Amino acid sequence: MKPVKLGICGLGTVASGAVNILKRNAESIAGRAGCSIEVIQVGSRRLKDNCDLAGVDFTTDVFDVVCNPEVDVVIELIGGYDVAKELVLKAIENGKHVVTANKALIAVHGNEIFAAAAEKNVTVAYEAAVAGGIPIIKALREGMAANKINWLAGIINGTGNFILTEMKDKGRDFADVLKEAQDLGYAEADPTFDVEGIDAAHKLTIMASAAFGVPLQFDSAYTEGISQLSTADVEYAEELGYRIKHLGITRLHKDGFELRVHPTLVPEKQLLAKVDGVMNSVLVDGDAVGQTLYYGAGAGSEATASAVIADVVDIARAINVDAGVMVPYLGFSPEKITDLSVLPIDEIVSAYYLRILASDHSGVLAKVASILSEQGINIESVMQKESELQDGKIPMIMLTHEVKEKNINVAIEQIEALSEIEGKVVRIRVEHLSS
C-alpha cells in the first residue's frame, strides 16, 4: 500500500503531540491503517522545538501546505474561524482530505464545509474537535448507529469543571480559582469562551447534529456561564444531595430539540456528578442500549492528538481501499438530515434550585409559595439558613418539581418584586438525567 502523506497547519500543543505520537507509534499505527503515514510538511508562523521535525519540510505559510500536490491529508490545527475556514475550503478545493480539531470552525461553518467536501468527494474528519481524546463522535455516528438517541448531557469543558471542583472541595471562590486555572494553563488570559459556556456550546452543537441528524445550529444554542456562581450555592447544593456541574444538554422532541449549556444541579449519586478536575464526560441515552458513559481527558497535547491520528487512520484506510467517505459527516445520509429547529429556552422543562434572600418575618415563605403555586410550580423541599441570618435577612433555598422555564421566569420576577426580598433570585436548573 502506498504511504499516506500528511501536511500539518499549526505547530501548537496538539500538532506537536501528533508529530510525536506518529513517530513513536509509527509501526502500530501503520499496522492499523494498512500503510505507513508520513508527515511531509508543516506550516506555522514560527518553528518550535516541541517536536522532532527532522526530514519534514517547514514553511511559514500554511497555504503552502494545502497547495502541496504531495500532501494527501491536511491537518488543520491553527484554530479560530476566518483563516481556518479559508484554509480548509482551499484544501477541499484542491482535492485533499482534512482532519481538524477546530470545534468553533465546525460548529459555525460545518454545514458549508461538509457540503463542499461532499461535492469534491473528500473527507472532513473532526473527532478531536469534541472532548479531546474521548471518541464520542465515533460512538454517536457508529457505535450507536442502531439507536434512536434520546438525549445526551456532558461536562465538555475542563476549565469550568476544574473551577467548580475546587469551589466544592476547598470552598474557594470563583475569582480565586480562575486565577489559578490561568496560572496552570487551563484557562486563557481571556477565559470567556470557557467560563461563559461558548466553548461547550460549540462542542454540544456538533454532538447534537451527530446524535439527531440535524444541521449544525450553533447560533441557536442557549449559553449561561459559571462566573456568577457563589461558593454558598455550591455548599447548599451539597447539603441537598447535589453537585453543581456546567453541563451541555441536548434532548430530542417531536417538534425540535434542546441545545443548552448552563450550570446544573446533578444528584450526587449520578455518574456525571463524580467527574472532577479537568476531566470531560458525556452521558448518552439511546432507546436500545440505554445510558452509556464516555469519560477521559478532554484536552491536552497527546490526548487530543490521539483523536486527530485516529481520524487520519480512518482516512488512510479509505484512501487505500478507494472507499471514499465511509461514514457520513453527521452520521446520517444527507437526504436523511432532518430540518428540526432548536427549541427556545423558555420551552424547556426542568426542576429548579432557587436561592432567595428574604426578610426574617413570618409569612414570607407563604407569599413565595403562593407565587410559585400560581405558576403551577410545586415545591420539593425548602431549607432556611437561620445560622446565616444577617441584617434581618436570611437565605431561603428551594428545590422545585419540573416546570416550563417560562413559568419559573414569571415566578422569579414576581418574587423579586416583593418588598421582603432583597436582590436577585439565584436560579440553577436541576437535571436528574433520565428519559
Residue 395, beta-bridge partner list: 357
Cβ neighbours of residue 54 under 8 Å, at least 6 residues apart? none
Helix, strand, coil % (nearest 5) of the chain?
40, 25, 35
3-state SS class at 214: coil
d(CA 271, CA 221): 25
Cell numbers describing residue 132: 479531546
Q: Are 87 and 62 in contact (CB under 8 A)?
A: yes
Sign of CA dihedral 345, 348, 354, 358: positive
Whether 179 is catalytic is no
Q: Where are the alpha helices (DSSP H) in 77-149?
A: 82-93, 103-120, 136-138
Burial of 249 (0-12, 13-18, 19+ CB in 10 A): buried
Mapped onto helix, strand or coil, the DSSP state of residue 286 is strand
Catalytically annotated residue among 2, 203, 254, 406: 203
Helix (H, G, I), strand (E, B) or coil at 194: helix
Q: Which three cell numbers stand for residue 185?
A: 494553563
Please give the grid coordinates belonging to residue 398: 428551594
Distance of CA 408 to the CA centre of its chain: 26
Residues classed as catalytic: 203
